[in-house]
Each structure stands twice: as C-alpha cells, then as structure tokens.
C-alpha cells in the first residue's frame, strides 16, 4: 500500500515534468519556424527562449489561480462557511497535511475540485450547490477525496495539463485567425509564404488540440479517481460518507456552466451530463458513478 | 587493514542513518501528540460557554452540568496520553448526554449561540478523533521500528522508549462513524 502510493507520487511528478518538456519543445518548434520566416535572427531566438522559460515558471506557480479563476471561485468566508472550513481542517488533520485554502464556486451544480502544486500550496473548491445537498459526513467524504488528490500529487499534473491544454487551444485560434486576417496586410513578397506557414501551424494545432484532450484523459486515467475514492475513504475510515455523497451527485445532476473540456478532469464528478451514471465512453474523464459507489461499498478498511 | 577501515566507516554511516531515522519518527509522534493537545485545549475552552448557554434554558439539569465540569477539570489535569484518553472519552459521552438533554428544550435548540457552539464542538470532536487516528498510526510505526533488529540496538543506546497509544472510546472501535451530536 505505502510503496505503491509513493511510486504513484513519483510517477505523477515525472509525468508533470514530461508534460512541461514536451510543451517547451513544442513552443520552441513554433518559435523556430516564426523566427526563421520573419528573419528576426539571433534576437528572435533569445526572445523565444526567455519567453518559454518565463512561461514555465509562471505556469508552475500560477496554474492553481488559472483553474480557480476559470471556474469563478472565490475564497470562502470563514464566518459564513464555518462548517466547510471546519470540515477541511478536520480532514487535513486526519491526512497529516497542512490545511489547504478553501474556495467557493458559485453554481447550483453540485461539484468540487482541488488544485495547486503541492500539499503546502493547495486549494479546495466546492460549489454552493454541493453545500446545499450534502450533510456533514458526506461533505467530509468529498473533501477527503480531494485531499487524496492533493496528497497523491494528482493536482499538480491535472492543473499543469489543463493550463497547457488551454494554451494550445489559444494558439490554435491565434494562428487560424492571423491566417485569415493577416494575409491582406503583408507585403506580396513574403505574404504568400508566411500565410502558408501560419496556415499549416494552425491546421496542425487544430488537429493536435483534440488529441491533446485525449492525452489528458490517458494521463489522468479514470483509475486515479478510484484511487482517490479509496484513499479518501482511508483518510476518514468511513467509506459510506463518500458513497452517499456520490449517490446524491448521481441523482441531482445540474450541468456546471463554467467547466470546459480543458478542466473537466479536475472535478470530483464529470461536470457534463453524459457518461455520469453508468456508461463510460473511451473519452470520459470519470468512471461511472454507479461503479465508484459499488467499489466504495465493497471496501473493507 | 583497508578492508577493516572500510567496514568501520560503513558501520558508522549505517549507525548515523538509523539514528536520524529514529529521531524523525520520534518527532512525528511528538507532532501527532501536539495536534491532539491543541484540540483538547480547544474543547476545554468551549465547554464553559456551552454550559452557560444551556443553563439559561435548562436550569434543572444540574447533575449533567456538574459531571461535565468535574470531568473537564480531570481531563485538564491528566499527565499521560493514557490518562488524558480515559478522561476525555468519559467527557465525550457526558457531552452526548448534555446534547441529548438539550433536545428537550425547543427554545434552546433555536438559539443561534447554541447552534454555533454545537458546530464548534462537533468539529473539535472530529478533529480530536482524526488527530488520534493520525497519532496512533505514527506511534505504531515508531514502536514497531524501535523493536526491529538493527534499529533496536541504536534505540536502546539512546533511550528511545515505546510510546503510549491514545485509546479510542469503546463504542468507536466497533462503529467507525465520527461523533455527531
């Protein structure tokens, strides 16, 4: 048990590193092509190298803020959300980690996610809809599931991957647009060639973007959700709490408006309607809730 | 000659490594206990407030108030984890009685201050039991380590003693759910 968990944490850190390397190479390739065709020379290369380094540093330190902002989460008021703060503190004592920051996502959709780069800099966000339907013990179960993601370093990988996914979609839009509008202003001599290059990059990105989403699904495999359920149950030593919470999530479905393809895998239950209850597609981010509940009920601690 | 020298150096390195590991584990036990201690103190602070609030609505329940006060001072004076665990487990069940008594007073149940105290005490109670769970895990790890073979040599040389567990109340050993008043 212990050994495999540590292996998993190591694997998560390696995967995060790999993702950052691959993106850097990818950005480097784009930079090379652009510099080459605009004839910026050595200054251009230096500019791109510095940009990539700064981009990675900013990404590492701010990926959690991106996820929180994208979902419109705000810090939970310690007086108004006293019980939530208490529950998070209880679970962090049980897990032996520092208390993460607590956020509220204003949405009637019952859901929750965790983000951050390590247990010392982690945040847990729950929606107002979740607080409305869960009792104290069910909330403990959900928070323990998120705490398991934090302890296993799932959060770093998840947030870095979703930030990179967002960037690729952004770049694709940029290149496809500059291809459409940029052509007119360019001089005739280089215009045709440059336009062609931008078009090729745009098309390649358009193909890569959905593939990248699929890659996210592979990296953050559905197995990880089972694992977080099990280790969450180990933290509270009370699997029924989480099982009951998941049953409520299954029965009271409201779509989460501010979730997107690039951050769907962060949440405790899929924020989209399809494949929630029983059918798991090849591209679904989460295992079906029925199966997760079944596994929790069979769990012996 | 050189072989002996290398052996001695290796032995010293192993010795230092074991000693350091033991120190880290003992530190974890201390931290685990500190966690419990913080929560126990928090509970001792909350109890007088709670008793005052309940008294305002249910004057006749003197017996319960007295018992709570007595157990509270006994728990505060406890010297070892074992004593503290015993006194606090009794305190927990008396507090349950107090909250059961409160059920009979609808006005009290509607009192905002009472509801706040109830949430705080529930949270503290949960924190105590989670902190105990964590503490017992690290104590078990520590106690097992100082009894294993090469470690036990270092442990006895530097006086690493086994630590006491913080025992859970009788009913919680069979039913897992945490306290809910």
Q: Give the model confidence (pLDDT) of B5-54 as tens digits.
A: 999 999 999 999 999 989 989 988 998 888 888 888 888 888 888 888 88
Counted across chains A and B, CB pairs separated by less than 8 A come out at 45
CATH code, domain carrying B39: 1.20.1440.20
Give me the residues paired with residue A112 across strands: A126
Residue B4 lies in a domain: no
B106 reaches A (C-beta below 8 A): no
Give me the residues paired with residue A114 across strands: A124
- How many folded domains does chain B comprise? 1
Residue A75 is predicted with a pLDDT of 95
Which residue from A minimizes the CA distance to B179? A137
Q: Is the pLDDT of residue B175 over 50?
A: no
> Which residues of chain A neighbour B130 with C-beta distances below 8 Å?
90-91, 93-94, 236
Output the pTM of the full model.
0.75
Calculate mean pLDDT across residues A67-77: 88
A89 reaches B (C-beta below 8 A): yes
B141 reaches A (C-beta below 8 A): no
Q: Are B178 and A94 in contact (CB under 8 A)?
A: no
Of A17, A84, A27, A94, nearest to A55 (Cα)? A27
A94 reaches B (C-beta below 8 A): yes
Residue B9 lies in a domain: no
Of A254, A95, A70, nearest to B133 (Cα)? A95
CA B165-B166-B168 angle, 5° bins: 120
Calculate mean pLDDT across residues B133-140: 89
ipTM of the complex model: 0.72
Sign of CA dihedral A113, A118, A120, A121: negative
Residue B129 lies in a domain: yes
Distance from CA of B181 to the nearest CA of A (A): 12
Determine whether the interchain pair B127/A93 forms a contact, defined as Cβ–Cβ distance below 8 Å.
Answer: yes
Rounded Cα–Cα distance for residues B121 and B53 (Å):
13
% of residues, chain A, pLDDT over 90: 18
Q: Is the pLDDT of residue A235 over 70?
A: yes
Q: Is the pLDDT of residue A104 over 90?
A: yes
Q: Identify the band that residue A301 occupies on the pLDDT scale cut at 50, 70 and 90.
A: low
Q: Give the model confidence (pLDDT) of B58-109 as tens digits.
A: 777 788 888 888 889 888 888 888 888 888 888 888 888 888 888 888 888 8
Number of neighbouring beta carbons within 10 Å of residue B153: 11
Domain range for B59 is 30-174
Residue B25 lies in a domain: no
Residue B38 lies in a domain: yes
> Which of B166, B178, B180, B181 is the best substitution to test chain A (most A C-beta atoms within 10 A)?
B178
- What does chain B look like in DSSP terms, one character per residue? -HHHHHHHHHHHHHHHHHHHHHHHHHHHHHHHHHHHHHHHHHHHHHHHHHHHHHHTT-TT-HHHHHHHHHHHHHHHT--SHHHHHHHHHHHHHHHHHHHHHHTT-HHHHH-HHHHHHHHHHHHHHHHHHHHHHHHHHHHHHHHHHTTSHHHHHHHHHTT-PPPPP-PPPHHHHH--PPP--
- Name the residue with higher pLDDT: A4 or A257: A257
Q: Are B166 and B81 in contact (CB under 8 A)?
A: yes
- A120 catalytic per annotation: no
Which residue from B minimizes the CA distance to A235? B130
Q: Give the model confidence (pLDDT) of A133-191 as tens digits.
A: 999 999 999 999 999 999 888 887 777 776 676 676 666 666 666 655 554 444 445 55
Residue B105 lies in a domain: yes
Q: Give the model confidence (pLDDT) of A249-287 as tens digits.
A: 888 877 777 666 666 777 888 777 654 555 555 556 677
Residue B108 lies in a domain: yes
B118 reaches A (C-beta below 8 A): no
Q: Who contacts A201 (Cβ-Cβ below 8 Å, separation ≥6)?
A: A30, A33, A175
Residue B115 lies in a domain: yes
Determine whether the interchain pair A86/B123 forms a contact, defined as Cβ–Cβ distance below 8 Å.
Answer: yes
Q: Is the pLDDT of residue A12 over 90?
A: no
Which residue from A minimizes the CA distance to B31? A96
Q: Give the model confidence (pLDDT) of B146-171 as tens digits.
A: 898 888 888 888 888 888 888 776 55
């Amino acid at each position: 048990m212990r050994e495999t968990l540590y292996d998993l944490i190591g694997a998560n850190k390696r995967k995060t590193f790999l993702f950052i390397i691959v993106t850097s190479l990818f950005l480097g390739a784009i930079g090379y092509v652009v510099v080459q065709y605009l004839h910026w020379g050595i200054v251009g290369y230096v500019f791109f190298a510095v940009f990539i380094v700064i981009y990675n540093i900013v990404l590492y330190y701010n990926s959690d803020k991106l996820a929180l902002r994208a979902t419109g989460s705000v810090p939970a008021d310690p007086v108004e959300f006293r019980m939530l703060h208490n529950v998070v503190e209880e679970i962090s004592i049980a897990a032996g980690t520092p208390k993460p920051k607590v956020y509220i996502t204003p949405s009637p959709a019952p859901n929750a996610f965790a983000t951050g780069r390590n247990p010392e800099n982690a945040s847990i966000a729950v929606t107002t809809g979740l607080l409305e339907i869960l009792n104290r013990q069910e909330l403990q179960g959900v928070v323990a599931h998120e705490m398991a993601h934090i302890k296993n370093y799932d959060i770093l990988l998840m947030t870095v991957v979703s930030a990179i996914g967002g960037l690729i979609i952004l770049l694709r839009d940029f290149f496809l647009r500059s291809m459409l509008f940029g052509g007119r202003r360019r001089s005739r001599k280089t215009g045709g060639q440059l336009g062609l290059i931008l078009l090729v990059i745009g098309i390649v990105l358009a193909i890569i973007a959905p593939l990248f989403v699929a890659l996210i699904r592979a990296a953050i495999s559905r197995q990880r959700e089972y694992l977080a359920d099990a280790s969450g149950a180990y933290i509270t030593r009370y699997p029924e709490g989480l099982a009951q919470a998941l049953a409520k999530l299954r029965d009271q479905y409201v779509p989460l408006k501010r979730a997107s393809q690039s951050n769907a895998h962060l949440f405790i239950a899929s924020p989209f309607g399809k494949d929630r209850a029983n059918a798991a597609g090849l591209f679904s981010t989460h295992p079906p809730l029925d199966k997760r509940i079944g596994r929790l009920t069979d769990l012996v601690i | 000659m050189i072989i002996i020298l290398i052996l001695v150096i290796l032995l010293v390195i192993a010795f230092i490594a074991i000693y350091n590991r033991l120190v880290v584990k003992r530190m974890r036990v201390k931290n685990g206990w500190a966690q419990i201690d913080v929560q126990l103190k928090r509970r001792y602070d909350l109890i007088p407030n709670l008793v005052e609030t309940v008294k305002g609505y249910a004057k006749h329940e003197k017996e319960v108030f007295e018992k709570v006060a007595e157990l509270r001072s006994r728990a505060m004076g406890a010297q070892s984890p074992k004593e503290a665990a015993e006194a606090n487990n009794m305190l927990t069940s008396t507090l349950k009685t107090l909250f059961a008594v409160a059920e009979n007073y609808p006005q009290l149940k509607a009192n905002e201050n009472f509801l706040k105290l109830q949430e705080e005490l529930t949270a503290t109670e949960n924190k105590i039991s989670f902190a105990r769970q964590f503490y017992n895990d690290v104590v078990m790890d520590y106690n097992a380590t100082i009894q294993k073979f090469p470690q036990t040599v270092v442990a006895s040389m530097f006086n690493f003693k086994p630590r006491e567990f913080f025992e859970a109340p009788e009913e919680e050993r069979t039913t897992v759910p945490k306290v809910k008043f």
